[in-house]
Amino acid sequence: MLEINLDLIKKYDRPGPRYTSYPTAPHFNDSFNHEKYLEEIIRTNSEKEKPDLSLYYHLPFCDTLCYFCGCNMIITRNRDRIKEYIKYLKNEIDLLRTYITPGRKVVQLHWGGGTPTHLDPDEITDLINFINSSFEIKDNAEEGCEIDPRGLTKEHLSALRSGGFNRISMGVQDFNTKVQTAVNRIQPEEMTRQVVNWVRELGFQSINLDLMYGLPFQSMDTFEKTVDATIDISPDRIAVFNYAHVPWMKKHMSLIKPEDLPAPEEKLEILKMTIEKLTGAGYVFIGMDHFAKPNDELAVAQRDKKLYRNFQGYSTHAGTDLYGMGITSISQVGRTYSQNLKKENEYFDQLNNLRFPVERGYYLTDDDILRRHVITKIMCDFELDFRSVEAIFGIEFDKYFSNALNGMEEFLSDNLIEINDRMIKVTEMGRLLIRNIAMNFDGYIERKEDTGRYSRTV
């Protein structure tokens, strides 16, 4: 069991990036457009060694508003609006596949939202068939979908499973009725258990449940019951997210009263209890907010030093070109990041003109690629071999990162890392504060205008 030092958590709890990319999204700019994205697509598809593909589809629609939600979503019950969006999503797929070199295999595919299962089963089957006919999906590719148990039928899951999906992720947040009422997400424990049973009956390989701490009316005692119930359900993976109350960024969060939120001390006690309970139950702490059973692919990849991190979070597929489709989705192709337009009409207009609906993006420098490698290794492997970095990038590590190494003294004295002349190793307690350690190698972190955009590191 991982024992948590709350004093250290308090000391290092500050805003910081989650490093699903480096540089992070605040550094994207609107001078990166369709032409630059297309240029990189063509370049990467003409290279001799072409990486495998990872595909992400953003399905933004939800039936009801969850007050805690930080996602890019649209609340609607207008089925015609959903059908029109799917039509244009297919148009984006058509546009992209014309530039993808035949033979490139899709090894990872994910539907996120919003609520992908707000589509009805026939719509799910239709979209799956269109995707599968547009790209070459590798046998046993990792295919995951986010679902919402509310309004879900077994037919929804059957449509996903028949189409090749093998992983499911489901939000729970908290089983406590008072908390659910306060955040407008009524989801009885029995409903969640029923859906988990369906997922297992249909033969999905992996189930992830999302929990969230820091919600209104939560206490350590009430949330402990949710954690115990989650352990009893026994999903393969568990994500435990920190609720960030940012009504100035997400207006609907103003429906949550600040006075109903747990005090900072209580919130940290909830986090401590949760981590200790999950690790005590045998879950491996992958890092950040993710836990997995020891035989899960994430845990295995971490042990084998093959874990990766991208816009979908932790991944077992490093080195792919990630193509995001749908509004707000983000791509990572070659040396570029790009994000699609956020508004439906603007997204539709660009596709009507046979243009990729890119709103902003970024072209990575050599320094960016080096620092991304270093930060990814620290975040995923919990160690960094200086000589390995030197061999790959042709630098003298001690000189190139002299400022970063000089800034490690505090982490060393707090027993968050071990360091010698060739390696940094992160301790068990340091894993909880891995974002803070990674920030030391960030060449942009001193930009004060960025700090307000980041969540807190714990």
Domains of the chain: residue spans and CATH: 1-23+365-458 (1.10.10.920), 26-321 (3.80.30.20)
Q: pLDDT band at residue 311, thresholds of 50, 70 and 90?
A: confident
Pick the closest to residue 66 from 118, 4, 8 (CA basis).
Answer: 118
pLDDT for residue 8 is more than 50 = yes
pLDDT for residue 291 is more than 50 = yes
- Measured distance CA(211)–CA(217) in Å, rounded: 15
Q: Give the highest mean pLDDT range of 5-14, 59-68, 427-436.
A: 59-68
* pTM of the predicted protein model: 0.94
- Please give the pLDDT value at position 445: 78
Q: pLDDT band at residue 451, thresholds of 50, 70 and 90?
A: very low
Encode pLDDT of 353-398 as tens digits.
999 999 999 999 999 999 999 999 999 999 999 999 999 999 999 9
Encode pLDDT of 388-418 as tens digits.
999 999 999 999 999 999 999 999 999 999 9
Average pLDDT over residues 206-215: 97
| Residue 271, Cβ density class (10 Å: 0-12 exposed, 13-18 middle, ≥19 buried) | buried
- Measured distance CA(57)–CA(95) in Å, rounded: 14
Which string of DSSP letters, residue by residue, matches 329-391?
Answer: -EEEETTEEEEE-SSHHHHHHHHHTT---EEEEEE--HHHHHHHHHHHHHHHHSEEEHHHHHH
Cβ-contact 371, 22 below 8 angstroms: yes
- Measured distance CA(141)–CA(164) in Å, rounded: 9
Pick the closest to residue 403 from 446, 453, 448, 456 (CA basis).
Answer: 446
φ, ψ for residue 330, nearest 5 deg: -120, 135
pLDDT for residue 312 is more than 90 = no
Q: pLDDT band at residue 448, thresholds of 50, 70 and 90?
A: very low
Q: What is the DSSP letter of 119?
A: S
Alpha helices in 67-188 (DSSP H): 79-97, 121-134, 154-162, 177-182
Q: pLDDT band at residue 9, thresholds of 50, 70 and 90?
A: confident
**Phi-psi domain of 378 (left: phi exceeds 0; alpha: psi -120 through 50; beta: other):** alpha
